[in-house]
Structure 1
């Protein structure tokens, strides 16, 4: 038997578009709501298998509806659709055992894949959200702020496989000055004094040195 679904979104075009699309694909849409309060009341009344909710709605957000469902032991599986890629919302969604979390701009493209996962009792989180969060996780190491502009330039040139002589020629400084800078960089970054350790560190953090 086809799972029953309700959809809630305070944007009429989005609500109608998603609803019409899923109906055309044969999904069993049993109700729709224009705000969070109406959505929660529908869930309580109709007991759908799945609720597709916009995160930001009047009266109750999608997360608040999910929270109320969890608190009151309502087994409806929640899928959230959102424009937000923020880590806080993503973490909160995972905390509430949300089954799906997809971006609005990809909602039509991803909703069927998401529903297939949910029907199999698996969660589905938009790849774009994961990519965005991963990109933000790989943020610039704060320790680089301790380096001077010249030291950062030297570290960048090291990451490009330049020798001390190459660096001296590029920056118009002596080899001895380059070696002194390298020694200072190693101290500031607390890099272990083993062979090629500075080159290895520079290579591993190359994306932050450009």
Structure 2
């Protein structure tokens, strides 16, 4: 069963392009809007599972809609679509519980993966955005790791198996797995296969 979706963007061409693309891919698009006020009304009326919203729109921005939905305890998962590669906006989106953040220049290549990931209750943030922001900032979560956990993470980034890590660090496989489980919790990673490996690869330069 496909997730129900509403979309909103004040650029008619982008809205039409996204709408046509999603319908062509057989997604369940209920309605679309060209401003934040109409988008919020569509969320209130249809209670869609996912709302794909432009950040900059007349009346309400995508972030303001996310804030209102959070305050009203709506279950709709908000996905923001934007040209903005701004750390402050990204942090605000995360603090409002936004489920997805897709850059417009990659929208048609990423939106399917984003919807499918968000439908499984896993947040999706554009890899291009994350790599752009990582240049400027070290994830705070990394600072919560112990030196041993950081060493385990560094070995994971080098594709080492639990056994190889254990041999290198003179600890048992079981202890390595325990460290991995603590790291996943501390980094707040989704409990999906390879999430730790993906994170370690993306942040390899921070582990040097």
TM-score band by shorter chain is: 0.5 to 0.7
Which residue of structure 1 aligns with residue 8 of structure 2?
8
Does 1:39 find its partner at 2:39?
yes
What is the distance in 2 between the residues matched to 1:101 and 1:67?
Answer: 15
1:123 equivalent to 2:147? Answer no
What is the SS of the residue equivalent to 2:97? Answer: coil
1:136 Cα deviation (Å)? 2.1
Hey, what does 1:65 align to over in structure 2? 65
> Gaps spanning 5+ residues in structure 2: where?
139-204
Deviations 1:91-111 (A, max 9, x none): 001001111001010011100
In structure 1, how many angstroms separate the alpha carbons of the residues matched to 2:2 and 2:91?
30
Q: Which has the larger radius of gyration?
A: 1
Per-residue CA deviation, residues 110-156 of structure 1 (Å, 9 max, x unaligned), is 00010111011000000111111111237xxxxxxxxxxxxxxxxxx
Task: State how far apart, in whole Å, the 2-side matches of 1:77 and 1:124 are.
Answer: 11
Shift of 1:3: 1.1
Within a 5 Å distance, the mapping from 1:56-135 to structure 2 comes to 56-135=56-135
Give the unaligned 5+ runs of structure 1.
Answer: 139-203, 205-210
| Aligned residue in 1 for 2:193 | none
Q: Kindly provide the CA deviation profile for residues 39-58 of structure 1, in whole angstroms up to 9, marking residues without a partner as x.
A: 00110011111000000000
* Runs ≥4 residues deviating over 4 A: none
Q: TM-score, normalised by structure 1?
A: 0.65
Structure-2-length-normalised TM-score:
0.65
